[in-house]
């Protein structure tokens, strides 16, 4: 047994034991603990910003720059945002212990399904240090213990944040092992952690496709996958043109670097001659790449390749294709989509219904911006990620998606005949 493996098993076992205390603490103490964590985060501001400065300096020396460096950076304002986010999660309704359903069997057995925590959740993420507090708060709110494994660039920041959060937990009398940061960023250690299927119930990787692939390939623990968001809008022939332009603009331009930004706009053939030029006008700051039919209308468009339609640009670029009706739009989405979010803009209820029936994505929308595909915006309170695979949760995941249910059976002596 190598050094890492022993250490990872120890961390996982301690998390399992601590998870029971969090599960049984009750709603009030869990909320109190989260508020203590927020207090402690604020109280450790100096230490956290100092640690972050060291991370940022090293990253800069290593040649990291631009958005990558920007993501790593913490300042007073961002730290305050993190503190506020933990308090917001503390204030959410507690999901644990609720009876989800109940019924009585003909033999008098009272059966119910009761919401319980998942147990121990391992979160594997990349550079943003705020994930450390956001994700930890959500996991603990749902009654779980959490093991955090952040990226190496943010290691000192994460360590300072996690230790402040653990101190908050301990101040409420809960075991600090309910929130642990893996003390090494060695890949082999991560692989060892991913073998602890007896102690850890769920792994959530947050990051690029390479990280997700690595985790899925190496894990013996169930993995919740958040793959890319190659989102589509279909502008159907009866769409209100102004609404369609507003939604396309908002979905593409409001924040192009995130997974719920639109990446391909499909235009219904009968309106293409008028709508496409209006769209090009409205999205003047976006590089539009058109299929042949779009370029027949607007020859100035960059030609779109097969690859363009499969690409999540995360930038001010957008693919455009002309399609013949809802069926063709759904077929295009089936071929190139990533099961994340797709919207139809239409005034025809039948077209809307058909779109909803034929498109299998985790979030489907009628007459709204794809940018609403987000746990907070949809009313889940907060979000730990967006699942693009169907098991356990499909789409934005909030606190409730970090729980499961068990069967509780109350009898008065029933035996089976």
**Contact set with its own copies (CB under 8 A):** 20, 23-24, 103, 105, 109, 111, 116, 118-119, 197, 201-202, 216-217, 220, 222-223, 240, 243, 246-247, 249-251, 254, 356-358, 360-369, 371-373, 377-379, 389-396, 404-416
In the bound state with its own copies, the residue whose beta carbon lies nearer, of 161 and 215, is: 215
The least CB distance from residue 64 to its own copies, in Å, is: 30
Bridge partners, residue 275, by sequence: none
**Cα 56–Cα 61–Cα 63 angle in degrees, nearest 5:** 95
CB of 27 to its own copies, least distance (A): 14
∠ Cα 93 99 103 (to 5°): 155
Q: Tell me the CA distances in angstroms from 66 to 255, 317, 337, one per residue in order.
A: 17, 19, 29
Q: Which of 11, 226, 221, 15 has its CA nearest to residue 117?
A: 15
| Residue linked to tokens 């990620």 | 385
Query: Longest C-alpha distance within the chain, in Å?
Result: 79
The encoded tokens of residue 343 equal 């919207």
The smaller minimum CB distance to its own copies, of residues 2 and 99, is found at 99
Shortest spacing between CB 117 and its own copies, in angstroms: 8
Q: How far is the CB of 223 from its own copies (least distance, A)?
A: 8
Cβ nearer to its own copies, comparing 248 with 276: 248
- From the CB of 388, what's the least distance to its own copies, in Å? 11
287-290 vs 262-268, strand pairing mode: unpaired
To 10 degrees, what angle do helices 241-253 and 269-282 make?
Answer: 50
CB of 58 to its own copies, least distance (A): 35
Complex with its own copies: residue 79 or 244, whichever CB lies closer = 244
Q: Which residue's CB is nearer to its own copies, number 271 or number 393?
A: 393
CA distance 305 to 307: 5
Q: What six digits make up the tokens of 44?
A: 């450790």
Q: Is the CB of 302 or the CB of 378 nearer to its own copies?
A: 378
CA distance 1 to 189: 12
**What contacts 286, CB < 8 A, 6 or more positions away?**
252, 253, 316, 317, 318
Name the residue among 97, 106, 84, 87 with its Cα closest to residue 27: 97
CB of 121 to its own copies, least distance (A): 10
CB of 104 to its own copies, least distance (A): 9
Strand-pair category, 341-345 with 145-149:
unpaired
- Residue closer to its own copies by CB (options 299, 379) is 379
Which lies closer to its own copies via its Cβ, residue 107 or residue 274? 107
């Amino acid at each position: 047994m190598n050094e890492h493996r022993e250490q990872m098993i120890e961390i996982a076992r301690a998390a399992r034991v601590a998870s029971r205390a969090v599960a049984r603490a009750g709603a009030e103490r869990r909320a109190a603990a989260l508020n203590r964590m927020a207090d402690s985060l604020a109280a450790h501001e100096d230490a956290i910003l100092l640690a972050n400065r060291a991370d940022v300096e090293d990253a800069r020396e290593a040649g990291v720059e631009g958005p990558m460096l920007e993501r790593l950076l913490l300042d007073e304002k961002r730290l305050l945002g993190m503190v506020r986010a933990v308090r917001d999660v503390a204030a959410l309704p507690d999901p644990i212990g609720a009876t989800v359903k109940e019924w009585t069997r003909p033999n008098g057995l009272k059966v119910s399904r009761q919401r319980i925590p998942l147990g121990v959740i391992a979160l594997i993420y990349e550079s943003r240090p705020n994930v450390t507090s956001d994700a930890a708060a959500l996991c603990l709110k749902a009654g779980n213990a959490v093991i955090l494994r952040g990226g190496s660039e943010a290691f000192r920041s994460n360590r300072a944040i996690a230790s402040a959060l653990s101190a908050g937990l301990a101040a409420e009398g809960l075991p600090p092992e309910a929130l642990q940061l893996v003390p090494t960023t060695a890949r082999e250690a991560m692989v060892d952690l991913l073998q602890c299927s007896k102690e850890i119930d769920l792994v959530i990787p947050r990051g690029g496709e390479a990280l997700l692939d690595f985790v899925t390939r190496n894990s013996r623990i169930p993995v919740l996958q958040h793959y890319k968001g190659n989102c589509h809008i279909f502008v159907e022939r009866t769409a209100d043109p102004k609404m369609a332009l507003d939604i396309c603009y908002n979905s593409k331009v409001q924040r192009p670097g995130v997974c719920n930004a639109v990446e391909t706009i499909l235009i219904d053939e009968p309106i293409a001659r008028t709508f496409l030029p209006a769209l090009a006008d409205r999205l003047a700051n976006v590089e539009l790449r058109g299929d042949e039919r779009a370029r027949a209308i607007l020859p100035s468009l960059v030609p779109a390749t097969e690859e363009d339609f499969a690409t999540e640009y995360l930038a001010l670029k957008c693919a455009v294709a002309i399609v013949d009706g809802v069926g063709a739009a759904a077929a295009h989405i089936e071929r190139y989509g990533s099961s994340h979010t797709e919207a139809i803009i239409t005034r025809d209820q039948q077209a809307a219904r058909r779109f909803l029936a034929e498109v299998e994505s985790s979030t489907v929308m009628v007459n709204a911006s794809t940018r609403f595909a987000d746990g907070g915006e949809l009313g889940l309170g907060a979000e730990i990620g967006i699942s693009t695979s169907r098991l356990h949760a499909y789409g934005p995941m909030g606190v409730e998606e970090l729980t499961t249910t068990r069967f509780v059976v109350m009898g008065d002596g029933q035996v089976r005949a």
